[in-house]
Amino acid sequence: MGREIYRVPLDFNWPLRKVWQGFLNPYWKQCAHCGGTGATAGDRWFNKWLEEFQISATNPTDANRNARAKELHELFVALSGEPKGVVLLEWGQTFSLKQKLLEIAGLPGWGRCTACDSTGIDAAVKAKYEAWEEELPPEGEGYQLWETVSEGSPISPVFPTKETFVDYLVTQGYSREAALNFVEHGWAPTMMMRDGKILNDIESCR
């Protein structure tokens, strides 16, 4: 998500770039046993080891690179059953490698925090946290630009009409065509790739 239009009252004055209070779950409290990660210390260590091994294996300045890359690759191929042609160890592959190792060890649930059932949320507030529902900003006649890269916050003044809002977007460097389409759609992604060019947020509506 990237940009969105909210129709708010003309006198709506929530501070710019501050996440709207209705979007923040007040019951969030991280599990003290796993620090909110949902994993045990052993799992965090294992992931770090895998990550470092992988970085080392793909780092051209590491003298042991080829040996390590070969070793890890062979282990991966042997355990995962993936075709031999797979050389690059993507994150998803190290994840499946880990799952396979745990399966072989007969420890399918190893590494998961039992205190929070691997959710990372304090068990005492979990029911309230999950029952909470977000509250949208008040509705009105005005047009306002919001960023939705975070939970959501306003980033422009409130405009009384569609036309003044489009004019404002044009002064912010967007093409009129993109601004008009954006007002019709009501939202725009963070960025889009088209014909080899990167179009940022509202401009991707062109």
State the nearest-atom distance from the C-beta of 116 to Zn ion, in Å: 3
Binding site for Zn ion (CB under 5 A): 31, 33-34, 113, 115-116
Asked whether the beta carbons of 202 and 3 are under 8 A apart, the reply is yes
Residue type, 51: E
Report the residue number, 8 or 113, with the smaller CB distance to Zn ion.
113
Spatial separation of the C-alpha atoms in residues 5 and 137, rounded to whole Å: 12
Q: Kindly state the smallest distance separating residue 120's Cβ from Zn ion, in Å.
A: 6
Q: Please, which residues have CB within 8 angstroms of residue 79's CB and are 6 or more apart in sequence?
A: 97, 100, 101, 104
Assess contact for 58 and 65: CB atoms under 8 A.
Answer: yes
Q: Phi/psi at 101 (nearest 5 deg)?
A: -60, -45
Nearer to Zn ion, 34 or 205 (CB): 34
Residue (114 or 164) nearer to Zn ion, CB:
114
> Radius of gyration over alpha carbons of the chain, in Å?
24
Q: How far is the CB of 40 from Zn ion (least distance, A)?
A: 8
Q: Which is nearer to Zn ion, 120 or 157 (CB)?
A: 120
Q: Give min distance, CB of 166 to Zn ion, in A.
A: 48
